[in-house]
């Protein structure tokens, strides 16, 4: 009999640093920010999103990495 997936696991980790909405703030108390959701945090934004909604971040969009 197969075991069901444990729902208490951490969310699949989107790489916030590769998201166009992620930024580093000047606030030492809240160094990470998400422009899509409009907040700053002490931890990676995807963890705040998961904590509030129990779902992975649905706003992730990769950054445009053009060199020109």
Is residue 43 in some structural domain? yes
Mean pLDDT score of the chain: 84
Is residue 62 in some structural domain? no
Q: For the chain, how many structural domains are there in total?
A: 1
Per-residue pLDDT of 9-21, as tens digits, reads 555 667 899 999 9
Per-residue pLDDT of 18-42, as tens digits, reads 999 999 999 999 999 999 999 999 9
Is residue 66 in some structural domain? no
Is residue 48 in some structural domain? yes
Domain that holds residue 34: 16-53
Is residue 23 in some structural domain? yes
Is residue 44 in some structural domain? yes
Token digits for 39?
Answer: 């907040």
Is residue 11 in some structural domain? no
Q: Whole-model pTM?
A: 0.72
Is residue 63 in some structural domain? no
User: What are the Cα distances from residue 44, in Å, to 14, 22, 30, 37, 67?
Assistant: 10, 9, 10, 13, 26
């Amino acid at each position: 009999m197969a075991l069901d997936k444990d729902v208490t696991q951490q969310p699949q980790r989107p790489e916030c640093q590769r998201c166009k909405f992620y930024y580093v703030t000047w606030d030492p108390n809240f160094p990470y920010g998400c422009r899509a959701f409009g907040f700053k945090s002490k931890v990676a934004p995807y963890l705040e999103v998961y904590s509030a909604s129990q779902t992975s971040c649905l706003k992730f969009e990769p950054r445009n990495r053009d060199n020109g």
